[in-house]
Amino acid sequence: MHDIKQIRTEPEKFKLAWEQRGVADAGAVVAKVLSLDEKRRAGLAEVEELKRARNEASAQVAKLKREGSDASELIAETRNAGEKISTLDAAGRELDEALQSELLQLPNLAAADVQIGADENDNVEISKFGTPRQFDFEPKEHGELGTALDILDAERAAKISGARFYALKGDGAKLERALINFMLDQHTAHGFTEIFPPFLVRSDCMTGTGQLPKFGEDAYHISEDDLWLVPTAEVPITNLHREELLDESTLPIYYCAYSACFRREGGSAGKDTRGIVRVHQFNKVELVKFCKPQDSNQELETLRERAENILQLLELPYRTVSLCTGDLGFSAAKTYDLEVWFPAQNTYREISSCSNFQDFQARRSGIRYRPQSENGKPGKPEFVHTLNGSGLAVGRTWAAIMENYQNADGSISIPTVLRPYLGGLEKITAR
């Protein structure tokens, strides 16, 4: 969420930034926000003036009563002033709600070094790792491979839950579990504290990280309890420190977490909906950081390196792209996407997004820290910067291993770093 004082001070900056983020009629949006703010502040000023006049009148009433004089007219004035104050307070609350509603719908501003562009076609490739394997046979898609090996069952999963769900079995399930444990072990070895969070969160948690109110239709909601199935562990982990004032000495804070993720994933049928690349339930290992504002740019770079390291250890070809303004997620100021190579589709597909949200989520969630001033005394509280990244999306990693490590006979070789997690298993074969 944004500081209304900044919008008031630099309206053209916000107008231009939101235009670059694809906000329709950004000028009208800024004008509406400023109009609501002006009416709200005018109402507050009127209330303060009425309270001042009422206090003066009340003092005069007391004086007249001490003197034995008639104070009925002044008493009526104070009563009328009180009624006006109540009416204005109610109107002020409505204006506050309307202003907050508008601000909650508006995306973060892009960082200054983000490429201006309309969509994914304007993203900038930063680097590549590995060379896509040249097969001496026609590579198959992971869904076909998994079904043939009897380790992936989408048909029975659909019988249980409907389309875009899947079940893993045997060595397929073990590979999924191995990936989760491998990723968590790697991240905790690099200073991240492991968290096992709830998979159901309250609405204010979803609002804090930016899923609500704009993207509620993309998530699963249990209305009776007002709880949401997590779309990513980013939500519960970021909200661990909601409405907290952190000590500067505790920063930076690094967390990693496994969670199941639940998303409606609307869209037409096609290549995105084949296999397990775009489904309603999937597993993910998430990385979340809290840091001081001056450190967040560098923290994004090291966060990206952590996610990239998993792909490097698995020896999966991937590329890193910096998202342009038109392709940024709602809450992000800057994002790197890691895209892993899928040989059967002859393309790179996203497997991780690493984002710096700056103070956007912290403002919505009330997460601040108290810096130490130069003389050692506590300073004025400031909002932390938050970051998060997938480290990695487990299902997509599973699929990428299936496709990149497939053999001509349909078997799947196991990446060397995963073999200890699978009891030394070197290859998945048909049984």
pLDDT in tens, 351-371: 999 999 999 999 999 999 999
pLDDT tens digits for range 105-134: 999 999 999 999 999 999 999 999 999 999
pLDDT(37) > 50: yes
Residue 273 has what pLDDT? 57
Cα torsion 182, 184, 189, 194 to 10°: value is -160
CA-based R_g, the chain, Å: 27
DSSP, res 199? S
Q: How confident is the model at residue 152 (pLDDT cuts 50, 70, 90)?
A: very high
Euclidean distance between CA atoms 82 and 80, whole angstroms:
5
Euclidean distance between CA atoms 392 and 125, whole angstroms:
19
Active site (annotated) includes residue 370: no
Put simply, whether the predicted model's pTM sits higher than 0.85 gets the answer yes
Residue 68 has what pLDDT? 82
Give the E-state strand segments of 63-146 in sequence order. 124-129
Catalytic residue among 304, 339, 396, 403: 396
Distance of CA 106 to the CA centre of its chain: 14
Q: Give me the count of residues in the chain.
A: 431
Active site (annotated) includes residue 127: no
- Burial level of 162, CB count in 10 A (0-12/13-18/19+)? exposed
Active site (annotated) includes residue 156: no
Euclidean distance between CA atoms 214 and 364, whole angstroms:
14
DSSP, res 115? P
Active site (annotated) includes residue 41: no
Active site (annotated) includes residue 242: no
Q: Count Cβ neighbours within 10 Å for each residue of 194-205 and write b for 16 or more, e otherwise.
A: ebebebebbeeb
Average the pLDDT over 45-72 and give the result: 86
Domains of the chain in start order, with CATH, are: 4-104 (1.10.287.40), 120-428 (3.30.930.10)
Catalytic residue among 164, 278, 304, 306: 278
Q: How far is CA 264 from CA 205, 261, 319, 349, in A?
A: 19, 10, 27, 19
